[in-house]
Amino acid sequence: MESARTRGGALLLMVAVVVVALNQRPAVVGVAPVLGALRADTGLSSALAGLLTSLPVLCFGAFAPVAPRVARRVGLETAVAASLVLLVAGTALRLLSPVAVLYAGTVVAGGAIAVANVLVPAYVKREFARPGLPMGLYSAALNVGAALAAGLTVPVGAALGLDWRGALAVWGALAVLGLAVWLPVAGTGRDDRGAPAAPGGSWGLLRHATARQATIYLGLQSIQFYGLSAWLPTLLADEGLPVEAGGALLAVATVAGAVGAFVAPTLAGALQQRHRGQRSLVAAVVAGYLVGLAGLLLAPTTGTVVWVVLFGVAQGGGFALGLTLVVLRSATPLTAARLGGVAQCLGYLFAALGPVVLGALHDLTGGWSWSLGLLLALLVPLAWSGWGAARDVVLPEPSRA
C-alpha cells in the first residue's frame, strides 16, 4: 500500500502508471485522422472504415473478463508488461499491406489495451490508499495519449515521409518506452498482496443495481467518446473545414478531455472521503455533453472550438468518472478488477456499435444530423445510469461460482 512506500517510490509508481496510460488510446484514436487516406488506399466503405475504430473497442469488451484471470496466473505487474509487448506487436502488424492483416493487428492491439484497461485501475486500488489523485493522473494520461495521436499522427507521418500505415506504426515506439519505464518501477514478480483471483463470481456482481448502472454508464459514455472521435474530423470536413483543422480540433477535444479526466476523479475521491456520492459530477458531465453536441448539431462552423472543448471536457471527465466509480464502489482490489472486467466487457461491446452506427446513419442520410441527434438522445439513459452508480455505496465481494 501507499504507506509502505517512500514518497519517492510512490511518485515513481505514478510516473509508470501515467506512461502506461499514454499507450492505451493512440492505437485507436490515431486511425481517425488518416481515415480519408486509408479509405482512398483500400477502397473501404464508411462503415468498414469505422469498424477499424470500433474493433479495438470490441476487443476491450471481449478480453476484459480475461484480464483478472491472467493477472492471477502471472501477477498484475507482469500482465501489464505483457500487454505492452502485445501492443508493440499489434502496431507493427499494421505495416503489412493486406487489409486482413490491418484488422488482425488492430485485434492484437485492442486485446493488449483491454488487459491494461482493467488491471491498471485495480493496481492503483491496491497500491494507493487514496486513489483519487492517482486515478486522475491515469485518466488524464489516457486523454493526453489520445490527443497526441489525434494531433500528431498526420504531421509526424508527413515529416518522416511515411504513408498512413507507417504513421500509425510510429506509436509502437511509445509502447516500447512504456515497457522500459514500467519494468524497473513495478517489477515483474508475482505479488500476492491482493492480486486478482480467477473471476468465478464476477458476473454475480450484476445482481446489484449499482454494478449494472456502472456498466451501463461506462458503455453509454464510451459510445459518446468513440463514436464522435471516429468521425469528428470527417464531420467538420463535410461542413467545409480543412481536414487538418478537423484533426487539430479532435486534438483540442482530447486535450480538454485531459483536464476533465484529471479533475473528475480527484473531486470524486474528495467527495468519497466525506462520504458523499458523486452525483454532482454526473450532472456536470451530462450538461457539458448536452451543450457541446447541440452546438455541433446547430452551429458546427460557428463557435466550433467552444463546442469541441465542452464535449472534450465532458467525455474526459465522464469516462474518468466511470473508471473511478468502479474503484470507489469496490471494497477491495479484487472486486475492482472483477467489476472492471464485467463493466468493460459489456460496456465496451455496447460502445463498439457507436462508430459503425454513426457511419451507417451518415451513409443513409448523407449528413450528420441524425448521428448527432442519436448521441443527444443517449444522454437520457447516461444520466439515469450515472445517477445510480454515483451513490455512496460499496459492493460486497462476490461469492465464487
Instruction: Confirm whether 401 is domain-assigned.
Output: no
State mean pLDDT over 46-51.
74
Q: Average pLDDT for residues 55-74, to the nearest whole number?
A: 83
Across the range 114-129, mean pLDDT stands at 87
Q: Which of 190-194, 288-292, 367-371 has the lowest mean pLDDT?
A: 190-194
The rounded mean pLDDT for the chain is 84
What is the per-residue pLDDT across 372-393, written as a single tens digit (0 to 9) for each?
999 999 999 999 999 999 888 8
Residue 399 DSSP label = P
Provide, rounded to the nearest whole percent, the portion of the chain with pLDDT above 90. 26
* 194 within a domain of the structure (yes/no): yes
Higher-pLDDT residue of 225 and 141 is 141
Residue pair 25/153 in contact (Cβ under 8 Å)? The answer is: no
Picking from 226, 166, 179, 216, the residue whose alpha carbon sits closest to that of residue 354 is 226
For residue 195, what pLDDT is reported? 43
Residue 1 located in a structural domain = no
**pLDDT (0 to 100) of residue 397:** 63
Task: Read off the pLDDT of residues 336-370 as tens digits, 9 standing for 90 and up.
Answer: 778 888 888 887 777 778 888 888 898 899 889 99
Mean pLDDT of 39-54: 76
User: According to the 3-state scheme, what is the secondary structure of 76-100?
Assistant: HHHHHHHHHHHHHHHHHHCCCCCHH
Predicted confidence band at 40 (pLDDT cuts at 50, 70, 90)? confident
Look at residue 399 and tell me if it is in a domain: no
Alpha-carbon gap, residue 375 to 362, rounded angstroms: 13
Domain span including residue 357: 12-389
pLDDT band at 89 (very low <50, low <70, confident <90, very high): very high
> Is residue 105 one of the residues assigned to a domain?
yes
Report yes or no on 206 lying in a domain: yes
Residue 395 three-state SS: strand
Q: For 242-286, write each residue's pLDDT tens digit.
A: 777 877 887 788 788 889 989 998 898 888 777 778 899 999 999
Contact between 352 and 55 (Cβ < 8 Å): yes
AA letter at 306: V
What is the maximal distance between C-alpha atoms in the chain?
59
Q: How far is CA 213 from the centre of its chain?
A: 18
| Three cell numbers, residue 103 | 484488422
Instruction: Tell me which of 52 and 86 has the higher pLDDT.
Output: 86
pLDDT tens-place string over residues 299-313: 888 888 999 999 999
Q: What is the mean pLDDT of residues 72-83?
A: 87
Q: How many domains does the chain have?
A: 1
56, amino acid identity: P
Tell me what pLDDT residue 401 has.
40
Per the model's pLDDT, the better-predicted residue between 100 and 382 turns out to be 382
Q: Decide if pLDDT at 327 tops 80.
A: yes
* 347/288: higher pLDDT: 288
- AA identity, residue 279: R
Let me know if residue 251 belongs to a domain: yes
Tell me the average pLDDT across 205-220. 87
The pLDDT confidence band at residue 108, using thresholds 50, 70 and 90, is very high
Read off the DSSP letter of residue 283: H
d(CA 388, CA 214): 8
The predicted structure's pLDDT at residue 5: 59
Predicted local distance difference test score (pLDDT) of residue 326: 87
Q: What pLDDT does residue 60 have?
A: 84
| DSSP H or E stretch at residue 113 | helix 99-127
> At 373, which CATH number?
1.20.1250.20
Residue 181 lies in a domain: yes
Using the structure block, give the residue that is written with the C-alpha cell 486485446: 111
